[in-house]
Amino acid sequence: MELNKNIKERFSVRKFKSTDISDELIKEILDTARWAPSGLNNQPWKFIIIRDSAIKEQIAQQTHYSAIIRNAPVCIAVFYDKTAGYNYVKDVQGCGAAIQNMLLAVHNLGLGGVWLGEILNKRSEVERILEVPADFELMAVVALGYPDEEPKGRTRKPLSELTYLNKYGVKWLE
Ligand SMILES: Cc1cc2nc3c(=O)[nH]c(=O)nc-3n(C[C@H](O)[C@H](O)[C@H](O)COP(=O)(O)O)c2cc1C
């Protein structure tokens, strides 16, 4: 299946060409986020698309990964909108599913992106800079652009390490 191949070929891209991303592509990416699953189908996410370099610079100053944000033509801040929420863990998981959909769509469109979470240490500052309502909680910033680097050193643990083998487990995975 093409999707499974895409999942395995996606990687975080942290260096981007200066080429801009069209609004149509951004819409297509957000449309895949919109179709993510969520508990009770409550869709508790909100997005802010950041292109303005002055705002990007202010956001960049809130993370160790400032170079990635400065270099990306577009950043998308993903928020959990508590007014749509019903269960914190499930709502946050839903936001994660929306972010992963976006990253897969980004890859599928020939673009690159990275999920930035370290910036959550300065969550309130980012929320202040972007002037979001008090009910919005920052989940991540996704930096996007046309890739200017190739993946290197990507690894994953083997399935055998990820499958817990107690008396209920099956042993066909090595
Ligand atoms: C919740 C979360 C937070 C992350 N935060 C950062 C971050 O702050 N900076 C960064 O460069 N990458 C960040 N990443 C990207 C991971 O480092 C990356 O997904 C992981 O190393 C696997 O590499 P891959 O995406 O190329 O497969 C984050 C990923 C996730 C899921």
CA 131 – CA 138 distance, rounded (Å) = 12
12 Cβ closer than 6 Å to some ligand 1 atom? yes
Mean pLDDT (whole number) for 88-109: 98
Closest protein CA for atom 10 of ligand 1: 116
Q: Give the pLDDT confidence of 101-112 residue by residue, as tens digits.
A: 999 999 999 999
Q: How confident is the model at residue 163 (pLDDT cuts 50, 70, 90)?
A: confident
118 Cβ closer than 6 Å to some ligand 1 atom? yes
What is the reported pLDDT for 120? Answer: 98
SS (H, E, C) the chain: CHHHHHHHHCCECCCECCCCCCHHHHHHHHHHHHCCCCHHHCCCEEEEEECCHHHHHHHHCCCCCHHHHHHCCEEEEEEEEHHHCCCHHHHHHHHHHHHHHHHHHHHHCCCEEEEECHHHHHHHHHHHHCCCCCCEEEEEEEEEECECCCCCCCCCCCHHHHCCCCCCCCCCCC
pLDDT value at 92 more than 90:
yes
What is the reported pLDDT for 170? Answer: 77
Q: Which amino acid is at 39?
A: G
Mean pLDDT (whole number) for 87-96: 98
* Helix, strand counts (H, E) of the chain: 7, 4
Q: How confident is the model at residue 72 (pLDDT cuts 50, 70, 90)?
A: very high
pLDDT value at 140 more than 90:
yes
Please state whether the predicted TM-score (pTM) of the whole model is above 0.85: yes
What is the reported pLDDT for 174? Answer: 53
146 Cβ closer than 6 Å to some ligand 1 atom? no
**What is the position in ligand 1's atom list of the atom closest to the CA of 151?**
26
CA 51 – CA 44 distance, rounded (Å) = 23
Mean pLDDT (whole number) for 42-46: 98
96 Cβ closer than 6 Å to some ligand 1 atom? no
Q: How close is the Cα of 172 to the center of ligand 1, in Å?
A: 31
- Residue 55 burial by Cβ neighbours in a 10 Å radius (0-12, 13-18, 19+): middle
Closest protein CA for atom 7 of ligand 1: 116
Scanning the structure block, which residue is given the tokens 């895949």?
32
What is the reported pLDDT for 152? Answer: 81
Closest protein CA for atom 21 of ligand 1: 12
Q: How close is the Cα of 120 to the center of ligand 1, in Å?
A: 13
What is the reported pLDDT for 171? Answer: 74
Mean pLDDT (whole number) for 49-71: 98
What is the reported pLDDT for 33? Answer: 98
Q: How close is the Cα of 118 to the center of ligand 1, in Å?
A: 9
What is the reported pLDDT for 84? Answer: 98
In the chain, domain spans: 2-162
Q: State the chain's mean pLDDT as an integer.
A: 95
* CATH of range 2-162; options 1.10.645.10, 3.40.50.2000, 3.40.109.10, 3.40.640.10: 3.40.109.10
116 Cβ closer than 6 Å to some ligand 1 atom? yes
- Residue, of 159 and 12, whose pLDDT is higher: 12
